Structure 1
Amino acid sequence: MSFESTSVFGQIGLGLRREMLDEMLTGVPRPIDFLEVAPENWLKLGGRFGKQFKQLTERNAFVCHGLSLSIGSPAELNVEFVKSLKAFFKEHNVRLFSEHLSYCSGEGHMYDLMPIPFTEEAIKHVVTRIKQVQDILEQQIAIENVSYYAAPGQEMTELEFTNAVLAESDCKLLIDINNIYVNSINHGYDAEQFLKGLPSQRIAYGHIAGHYTEAEDLLVDTHGSPVIDPVWQLLEKAYAFHGVFPTLLERDFNIPPMAELLAELNIIEKLQFSANKVKYSA
């Protein structure tokens, strides 16, 4: 089936956490254009939090980034869950739904995102499931390149696998800049070459976040610290290669005062301004 193009939701986003609700209800500060939530955290939320969330979604652009669709799982797709997502997206006017190119369930459910084997068989399996989700939702979804710490049964590169899934499923890409950087250190590949090899026309929006340095050759994607300079530099390269795309700051724990988050969002704004200035002066 064919899909309508993704609605525009602005250029700078922030991951909304429950701790931010009261502050956001007084007014979402600039330069924030859109907010992102994990739908699993809000689907069945009622009471005060539910009412506050509805107030925010009525006034602001929202996207959803899922945690439990488990797109690469060998278990059957949870169709009822996808249908509940569809109703939630309609109720809150969610502009786009994204998920991880990974899995977190089999016979049970895990709290970690596991790497899908980079194989032809896995491509066919994942593509079938993405198409099924898109058919139920009646819209394209975006799939995020993930950080991974092992590559079992690898038959091709991460880039080849990712591009094949995107092309064959006709889905969008949520490009996570920090994950590219983390993987490039952990698996010894060129981050810029990986970045350049992704299809510009598939990019729906991007994520940027901090990570934890376990060792010189082992970084752990945590979303619990500020973005470091090499990751900012990689985002700048991403804009140079693919043009400016909407970019969202993730912070899942060790959440600092809003002023510190806004300082990082201002860096995104400056990088986007510089990239557009170069584009239009060329």
Structure 2
Amino acid sequence: MSNFKTSMHSCVGLGLRRGLLKDLQAASAGDFDFLEVAPENWIGVGGAHGAALRELAERYPLSCHGLSLSLGGSAPLDVGFLQEVRAFLDHYHVPLYSEHLSYCSDDGHLYDLLPLPFTEEAVHHVAARIRQAQDILGRRLAVENVSYYAAPRQDMDEVVFTNAVLREADCDLLLDVNNVYVNSINHGFDPLTFLAGIERGRVVGMHVAGHFDESATLKIDTHGAAVKPVVWALLAEAYRRFGTQQTLLERDFNFPAFTELVAELQTIRQLQSREASHG
């Protein structure tokens, strides 16, 4: 695992999805460097899937990206669940755990990532919950910028809000480049200005994914298609600003031939190598 920690700035990964399980197990050395898992989908899982997780974890380092902490929610954080996550992270020596800068619960899990209002009150609320989560986890947490389609109250820009949360919580950022692009079209801002506004020292990883073009002014973040050229260009710009970071290719459904995913991973490697040569 130590090799992953020292080389994580130039590595590529895929999500451990059950629909990809056989392809991941049969993958050639060098196709990808790490696997990202959602802890809540794997904690306590036994049988064939549990055995597959253990086998893959012996071959590849794991990164973890949570789905259900609901950091921006109003209900108390699930301390028991966080303790289970900590045990999972410790067991698999996971160097990076991230969650969404959003909420997903209200008297029950809503199975969607809902946007926070960009207000001072929301900054204080979510930052306090992130600090509490970090205390229970015993490690820093990275929060991910999310795509959103309805905008609640916005007293500040998204990038100002994000920086304020990162500073007050003293946490890191998992930069989702596709989400930046999708939001820039849907809400009318310049994605390059967004990247330029993020504090450099906070970014510890990146996500890149495909999206659906509903129209010229509406993009839907699906994780079900190939990455588009405009998003590859934005990823290259993100590398220029923040340096090469461990980068996950997100694909959650509508899986193509595995060779097509490997080709996209190679595109990430090429962008990382190009930036490294310029640096």
Query: Normalising to structure 2: TM-score of the pair?
Result: 0.95
- Distance in 1 between the 2:48 and 2:28 partners? 19
- Distance in 2 between the 1:246 and 1:18 partners? 22
Q: Say yes or no: does 1:76 pair with 2:79.
A: no
Relative contact order, CA 8 A, sep 6+: which one is greater? 2
Question: In the alignment, what sits opposite 2:180?
Answer: 180
- Distance in 1 between the 2:48 and 2:186 partners? 43
1:190-231 per-position Cα deviation (integer Å, ceiling 9, x unaligned): 000101111221111000000111111111100000000000
Question: In the alignment, what sits opposite 1:209?
Answer: 209
Residues 9 and 61 of structure 1 are in contact (CA less than 8 Å); yes or no, is this contact kept in structure 2? no
Question: In the alignment, what sits opposite 1:3?
Answer: none
Quote the offset at 1:33 in angstroms.
Answer: 1.2
Quote the offset at 1:78 in angstroms.
Answer: 0.7
- Distance in 1 between the 2:42 and 2:186 partners? 34
- Distance in 2 between the 1:83 and 1:26 partners? 33
Residues 9 and 34 of structure 1 are in contact (CA less than 8 Å); yes or no, is this contact kept in structure 2? no
Quote the offset at 1:44 in angstroms.
Answer: 2.4
- Distance in 1 between the 2:224 and 2:7 partners? 25
Quote the offset at 1:59 in angstroms.
Answer: 2.2
| Cα 1:247–1:97 shift into 2, 3 Å | same
Taking the TM superposition and a 5 Å limit, the aligned residue runs for 1:77-226 are 77-226=77-226
CA RMSD of aligned residues (A): 1.3
Which letter maps to 1:65?
A: H
Which letter maps to 1:32?
A: F
Contiguous gaps of at least 5 residues in structure 1: 1-5
Quote the offset at 1:27 in angstroms.
Answer: 4.6
2:36 is paired with a residue whose SS is strand
Which letter maps to 1:205?
A: G
Aligned length: 274
Quote the offset at 1:122 in angstroms.
Answer: 0.5
Q: Say yes or no: does 1:12 pair with 2:12.
A: yes
1:16-64 per-position Cα deviation (integer Å, ceiling 9, x unaligned): 2112223333455424111101111111211111011011112211111
**What percentage of residue pairs aligned between the two structures are identical?**
52
- Distance in 1 between the 2:23 and 2:233 partners? 31
Which letter maps to 1:25?
A: Q
1:149-176 per-position Cα deviation (integer Å, ceiling 9, x unaligned): 1221111110000000111111111000
- Distance in 1 between the 2:27 and 2:264 partners? 19
Question: In the alignment, what sits opposite 2:51?
Answer: 51
2:96 is paired with a residue whose SS is strand
Contiguous gaps of at least 5 residues in structure 2: none
Which letter maps to 1:42?
A: W
